[in-house]
Chains A and B, each alone.
Chain A
Amino acid sequence: MKALRNFLDKIKPQFEKGEKFEIFGSTFEAFESFLFVSDKVTSKGSHIRDSIDMKRTMSVVVIALIPALLFGMWNVGYQHFLSLGEQADFWATFWFGFLKVFPIIVVCYVVGLGIEFVFAQVRGHEVNEGFLVTGMIIPLILPPEIPLWMVAVATAFAVIIGKEVFGGTGMNILNPALTARAFLFFAYPSDMSGDKVWIAEKADALTGATPLGDALVGNIDKIPSPLEMFIGNIPGSIGETSVIAILIGAFILLYTGAGSWRIMFSVVLGGLVMGWIFNLFAINEYMQIPAWEHLIMGGFAFGAVFMATDPVTASQTNKGKFIFGFLIGLLAVLIRVINPAYPEGMMLAILFMNVFAPLIDHYVIEANIKKRLKRAKKLINI
């Protein structure tokens, strides 16, 4: 390691201000700090600091996403061979999926990080690690057949319009990964709306909508069995199908505290409540399905665990998180069942609540302020 350190020390001066490679300053810093934790020491305030940093926090989330990713790769292959009616062993199945999914991840990271590096350089700050997570989530919420150029365009849109125009990581209003998904949804609806089932290189004979698309038009019997939805060996976006894999990720997030239990809990509660309300009325078949089945259908679980919990775009107060999550769950099921244009409501529910999160926080904070003023007034009256 010493040799590597010496090499970095040797080339470092060339990246400083006014030197030959000045424009790659941020890029150099990003790679250097990836390899070595910097030698900077505290100068004011607390003399010691926690060992945590943004890189570690973000890598915990990336690790939490890996079960869903690996399962997704296998499932892409499995669905492919299933549709062709062919038999393939585990590794062949996985390898097929890997070849489908890996390019999407690479495109996503290259485009996204490239833009992040440029913005960091122009703005003169360090490259933020937030995109490590975004760049992993975007592929997982896309259909496996998506053309790579669409991935690139959507990622660029998400990073520039969704994040950087607001000031970069930490300042954005909308979840960047969902911004990418929404962009594709509205820009290329024929590929994304759920009218055609998402199976990579499927047999031409196989037609039909995605399970939720089917459910919406009344073909409730086409919804996979709960066990299948739980395990995830059904067609769908790459990473969202397996509730088991997502639950492993949820466990990692909750155990390390990287994801908010308040949000996850209340999203689930909101979904259940809306499901029960539908059960009460039950004027069509879709409304009659048990409330808990909504939790394992479509992107609900993935959204609840990985997208609603994005700390930047969620409510920031603890009380606000409960309200925020509850409404996401409620709206997701509402949109899914009622709105004919959108078979899946999770994406829009989260984006909608992202916009309202600051408002929720505002009222939570106002309540705190009122309490303080009341305390002061009480004393005056005595």
Chain B
Amino acid sequence: MPTITKIRKGFDIRLIGEAEKTIKEFKTNRYALKPTDFIGIFPKLLIKEGDEVKAGSPVFFDKYRDNIVFTSPVSGKISEIRRGAKRVLLEIIINTDPDISYIDFEKANPNDLTRELIIKKMLKSGVWPLIRQRPYSVIADPADNPKAIFISAFDTSPLAPDYDMIVHRQGDIFQTGLDAIAKLTSGKVHLNLKADNPSSRVFSKSKNVQINEFTGPHPAGNVSIQINHIDPINKGDIVWYLYPQDVLTIGRLFIEGKFDARRMIALTGSEVLKPRYYKTHIGASIEGMIEDNVTDIKKRFISGNVLTGSKIESTGFVGFYDSQVTIIPEGDHYEFLGWGLPNCNKFSFYRSFCSWMTPNKKFRIDTNINGGIRAFVMTGQFEKVFPMNIYPMQLIKAILIEDIDLMENLGIYEVDEEDFALCEFISTSKIEIQSIIRKGLDLMRKEMS
């Protein structure tokens, strides 16, 4: 029997617009690779506008780690290279062919290959960036030997996609992926499942991994929380992590010998008329998904979930790591005495609103900040949604004063921005905590290299 870890602290944000369990085939002719999806890389282009690419053709690489190559998820023509301020590379847009043609990376059984050959194949095909490391949440360094690899097979964030459904009937591919991943570490591969309801057989029958079960509210599905409870990161430790759809992509690389970037995307949020799953590829444009499928008001389009996702345009693209698109109303309007009225239609973590009395009611939440930015005043609140033995507020303050030693001592290696998303959500002082944490992680990474 797998061990069950109970996470008691945390909070589920109850939003309208969960994806129905129906799947739609989705074809678009526009895809994009966004270098901004990858933390801490410095992209160097290998193609120019007008070039033809196949699925698996290198598009750019990281200047500082030139063996890490990013390849095209589909085949077609590079239609546009978009840059932002200071010529930062934003999007490399690919207009696709109706039928995708692939570069052949040769089929292989990962059990017959050495670690070096597996890494080489993954680097060359461009699936390597799917594997990331803690601390810092950057792409894993193939030269490292991680002490463990974690796969979180469930997502507890708001309106999260259901991985059980996504991996359904893909047991062989998933197992092949796991076999390849298992060779990357001398430690264990941890596959973490939700204990509350029976997981897909694809997960529960997996071999070559240690299965752990978790119960509890968000952020129980965050990989940092799972690492912290099973095999915590100490200074100098490296843990790699990835998600079920990434395992499938790696599995297909070995079974089919190609970079098959198929991915299921959950279209969610209160402003989607028919929230459901779409079968598409990494980097798909959301244009076609939202056509005739959203409300008329002013909306925010998010690649990812409402807590950690990134804002995109209505013609934007799904991020490299994202399995979800969320669309919620913009909140750029004034509300008369909004802070004072005993409004039961407002959602809150706190009991000074009555939303806690209706534990099954779901809410439509817009992007309004709901207040002004203040200094830290309230205490003891973050601890209620932060299920690790780390003092969140003290860590945030250590980052603000850039005290490297204190940050290290307070456990910065164990955390990621996403773990603080709930703290940011419930913050009475409306402090932008996730960007503070990112700043701290970047600073640590710079100091340690």
Contacts and interface: CB of A to CB of B under 8 A. Distances in A.
Interface string A41-63: 11011111111111111011000
A129 B374 CA distance: 9
Contact of A54 (B232, B374, B435): B374
A44 B351 contact: no
Contact of B334 (A37, A167, A256): A37
Interface in B409-438: 409-411, 417, 421, 424-430, 432-435
A41 B306 contact: no
A316 interface: yes
Contacts of A381: none
A36 interface: yes
Contacts of A379: 234
Interface in A25-75: 33, 35-42, 44-57, 59-60
Contact of A49 (B300, B369, B389): B369
Contacts, number: 204
A54 B372 CA distance: 8
Contact of B434 (A33, A46, A52, A168): A46
Given A42-B369, A51-B353, A312 B377 contact: yes
Interface of B is mostly: loop
B247 to A, nearest CB: 28
A371 interface: yes
A47 B367 contact: yes
Say which size band chain A's interface belongs to: 35 or more
A257 B333 CA distance: 29
Interface string B366-377: 111111111111
A45 B309 CA distance: 8
B389 A48 contact: no
B377 A130 contact: yes
B58 interface: no
A47 B365 CA distance: 10
A284 B109 CA distance: 88
A365 B410 contact: yes
B430 A49 contact: yes
Contacts of B156: none
| Residue among B232, B348, B378, B381 facing the most chain A CB atoms (10 A cut-off) | B378
Nearest to B346: A51
A371 B389 contact: yes
A215 B306 CA distance: 61
B375 A47 contact: no
B138 interface: no
Contacts of B346: 51
A193 interface: no
A44 B431 CA distance: 11
Interface string A308-339: 00011010111001000000000000000000
Given A52-B353, A311-B380, A321-B380, A37 B428 contact: no
B30 to A, nearest CB: 24
Contacts of A368: 389-391, 410
B353 A171 contact: no
Interface in A1-41: 1, 4-5, 33, 35-41
Contacts of A208: none
Given A49-B425, A365-B391, A318 B383 contact: yes
B332 interface: yes
A258 interface: yes
Given A41-B332, A46-B421, A375-B232, A128 B374 contact: yes
Contact of A47 (B311, B334, B355, B372): B311
Nearest to B308: A46
B380 A47 contact: no
Contacts of B410: 365, 368-369
A49 B434 contact: no
Interface in B322-381: 326, 328, 330-340, 343, 346-353, 355, 365-381
Contacts of A47: 300, 302, 306-307, 309, 311, 326, 328, 367
A365 B394 contact: yes
A314 B380 CA distance: 11
A241 interface: no
A257 B374 contact: no
Closest 7 A/B residue pairs (Cβ): A53-B371, A170-B375, A37-B338, A376-B234, A45-B434, A51-B346, A36-B334
Interface of B: 13, 232, 234-235, 300, 302, 306-309, 311, 326, 328, 330-340, 343, 346-353, 355, 365-381, 383, 389-391, 393-394, 409-411, 417, 421, 424-430, 432-435
8 contacts: A47-B367, A54-B428, A128-B377, A169-B374, A312-B377, A316-B380, A316-B394, A361-B394
Interface of A: 1, 4-5, 33, 35-42, 44-57, 59-60, 126, 128-130, 167-171, 255-258, 260, 262, 311-312, 314, 316-318, 321, 361, 365, 368-369, 371-373, 375-376, 379
Given A311-B378, A379-B234, 10 more contacts: A1-B336, A4-B336, A41-B366, A45-B421, A47-B309, A48-B13, A51-B355, A53-B430, A311-B377, A316-B393
